[in-house]
Structure 1
Amino acid sequence: MKSARLVSILLLLQTRGRMTAAELAAELEVSVRTVYRDVEALGAAGVPLYGDAGHAGGYRLLDGYRTRLTGLTTDEAEALFLAGAPGPAAELGLGSVLAAAQLKVRAALPRELREHADRVSGRFHLDAPGWYADAAEAPYLPAVADAVWNSRVLHVLYRRWAEPTDVQRRLEPYGLVLKAGRWYVVAGPGPRTFRVDQILELAPSDEEFTRPDGFDLAAYWTRYQRDFHDRLYRGEALVRLAPGTTLPRAVRVDGHADEEGWTVARVPIESVERAHGEFLGLGAAVEILEPARLRAMIAATVAELAERYGNSRASGGD
C-alpha cells in the first residue's frame, strides 16, 4: 500500500504542480502525518521534491523533473485499452490522436502490463450501435465537438418531430453523449438535448458562452434518461405471460404466478396503439387483461387473422 501511495504522490505533484500536505492527505485519504513520512521517504530515495513554507507553500517537484513511472496496475492498463473506442474517436476526428496516445502508453508500460493490454485489445471489441439500425450520419459532429471544447455558440437549422419540423436554434453546447450509436449534444439554455444527426445546417460563431458552474454531464444524462422513460411510458397494461416469455423490450416484470403458472404483471406502455403491435408479436404467450380497449383491439385483430387464414386461398394439399 505504501509503494502505491508514494507513486500516487509523485503523479499528483507531476500533474497538478504544487500541493500542500493537507491537500495530498485529502486526495489520498490518509493523515497529514502520513504524508510527511511519505515525502521524507521520497526525498531519501533521491526524488527532487521540496517544500515551501508559508500561506502559499506546499510540496512540488523540481522544475523539469518527469517520472517515467506510470503507476498503472494490470487491471488499470487493461481498462485503459478497453476504454479507447476507435469508432467514436474517429467520428470526433480523434482517431489518429487516440492511436498515437495508445502507442505511447503501450511503449511506456513494463513488458508484463504491455502483454495484458495487448491481450485485451485482441479479445474485446466495443461496438456501440445496435442491430438492425444503420449508423446515423452526423456530418456536423466534428464542428459540434469543436464548439463544445472551445465554448463557442452554434447557430443551427434543426429538424424536430413536432410542427414546424425545421427550426432555427441558438445552442450553447455543454457536452456530447454517444448513446446506442447516436450522438447527442446537451446544450443551453435549459439545458436541452439535441440529436446531432438531425442538424441540417450549422453556422459556427466566435461568440463565447460560459458553461454553468457545477454542470455535470453524466448526472444530467442520467436524469434525462429517467425523465424520458417516464414521459414515454405513461400508460400501463395488466397482462398474463406464459412461463418463460420475454417481453420485446427491456422492462422489469414484477408480478405473481397464477394457478396455471402464468405470470400476472403490470407493464408500462407508451400507448395502446404501440402496445397492440408489441403484444401481438408474442402470439399466444400473452393475454391482455387491461385496459379494455387494448384487449378489444387484440381480439379484433386475432379474429380478422383467424377469418383470413381460416378461409384458405392456398392451392394444393388437404
Structure 2
Amino acid sequence: MRTDRLVAVLLLLQRREQVTAAEVAQELEVSERTARRDLDALATAGVPVYSMQGRGGGWRLVGGARTDLSGLTASEARALFLVAGPASAATPAVKAALRKLVHALPEPFRTEAEAAASSLVVDPRRWGTSRVEPRPPRFLDELQDAVIRGVQVRLGYADREGAETERTVHPLGIVAKGPSWYLVSNTEAGRRTFRIDRVSSADPTGDPVHRPEDFDLAESWREIADEIDRERTPLQLRAVCPPHRVGLLRMALGDRLEVGGPTADGRVEVVIRGHSEYLLAGELAGLVEYLEVTGPPGVRDQLASIGKALVERYG
C-alpha cells in the first residue's frame, strides 16, 4: 500500500505541479502526517521533489520533472477502468483504489478513464434458456470507443426482419447481458437500445454526444430490462404455496416470481409471469405439489389437460 501511495503522490505532483500536504491527504484519504511522510520519502528516494515554505508554499517537482511510474498508456488506463470501474462488478476495495487513482492520472488519461468506468454494465441474467457463450460482436470496440470519447455515430442497423436502416445516434453506454451486447443511445426518436450483433456499420461523426446530466447507465438499463421482461412475459399467473417452498420456486422461476402476503390458511400468495397459458402450464406441471394455481382459469384448464394426458399414458 505504501508503494501504491507513493506512485499516486508522484502522479498527483505531475498533474498539479504543486501540492500541499493537506491536498495530498484529501486526495488519497490519509492523514496530513502520513502525506508529509510520503512526500519526504519521495525526496529521500531520489525523486526530484522539493518543498516551498511560507504562504503559497507546497511541494513541487524540480523543473516540472515527468517521471511516469505508472507505466500506463492512455489505452491501458482506459482498459483498466473499463473492466474494474464503478459500473462493473469489481469489489468495493478495487473500486475505492481506482477512484483514488483516477484523481492522480495525468491528462488526457483522466477524462477517458472516468468515461470508461461508467461506459459498461454487465447483467449476468439471461433472457430465455440460451446457453450460447458470449462472443464480442464485430463493432463492439468501435462503439465502446465512441461512448468513451463522447462522439456521435452514424449507425447501420438491421431489425428482426433483416430490414436495413441508417441513423445518427448519441452512444451513452454498452451493456453485456448473457451472450448478447447492447448499445444504449439517444436518438431523434428518444432513447433506444440496439443489439450490437445487428449493427452493420458504425462511423463516428466527430460531433459531441448530447448526454443528459442525470444519466446513469445502470439505472437506465434496469428500466429497459424490466420493460423487455414485461413484454416477453405478459401473462400473470396467481397461485398460493407453503412458505417453506418459496425458495424452491424462486430457484426455478427467478425474477419471474413475485412473492405476496400470507393467506388465511397460512400459505403465501405468489404471482408468476409467463409468455402464454400453454407454456406456463407446461413449466409448472412438475411443481404441482408445491403450489396451487388460482388463476387465470385457462392455466388451470391446461394443467388439468396435462394431468389427464399423463394419467392416460402412464396410468
Q: TM-score range by the shorter chain?
A: 0.5 to 0.7
Does the 8 Å CA contact 1:48/1:65 hold for their aligned counterparts?
Answer: no
1:187 corresponds to which residue? 185
Does the 8 Å CA contact 1:18/1:58 hold for their aligned counterparts?
Answer: no
Paired residues, number = 250
Q: Does residue 1:228 correspond to 2:225, yes or no?
A: yes
1:99 corresponds to which residue? none
User: What's the CA shift for 1:256?
Assistant: 6.5
Does the 8 Å CA contact 1:184/1:193 hold for their aligned counterparts?
Answer: yes
1:133 corresponds to which residue? 131
* Structure 1 gap ranges (5+): 71-79, 85-127
Considering Cα pairs closer than 8 Å and 6+ residues apart, tell me whether 1 or 2 has the greater RCO: 2
2:300 corresponds to which residue? 299
Does the 8 Å CA contact 2:293/2:300 hold for their aligned counterparts?
Answer: no
CA distance 1:52–1:169, shift in 2 (3 Å): farther
1:169 corresponds to which residue? 167
Q: Does residue 1:284 correspond to 2:286, yes or no?
A: no
User: What's the CA shift for 1:203?
Assistant: 4.8
Offset from partner CA, 1:19-41 (integer Å, 9 cap, x none): 52243232123455653454234
Aligned residue for 1:246, secondary structure, equals helix
Does the 8 Å CA contact 2:241/2:292 hold for their aligned counterparts?
Answer: yes
Q: Does residue 1:249 correspond to 2:248, yes or no?
A: no
In 2, Cα distance between equivalents of 1:238 and 1:232: 18
Aligned residue for 1:249, secondary structure, equals helix
Residue 67 of structure 2, aligned match among 36, 57, 65: 65
Offset from partner CA, 1:33-65 (integer Å, 9 cap, x none): 653454234324433213578999864445243
1:120 corresponds to which residue? none
Question: TM-score, structure 2 length as denominator?
Answer: 0.58
CA distance 1:11–1:181, shift in 2 (3 Å): farther
* Structure 2 gap ranges (5+): 73-79, 85-123
Residue 265 of structure 1, aligned match among 252, 269, 293: 269
User: 1:83-98 to 2 correspondence within 5 Å?
Assistant: none
Letter in structure 2 aligned against 1:249 = L
CA distance 1:226–1:280, shift in 2 (3 Å): farther
Letter in structure 2 aligned against 1:139 = R
Offset from partner CA, 1:60-107 (integer Å, 9 cap, x none): 44524344899xxxxxxxxx8xx69xxxxxxxxxxxxxxxxxxxxxxx
Computing the radius of gyration from Cα coordinates, the structure with the larger value is 1
1:158 corresponds to which residue? 157
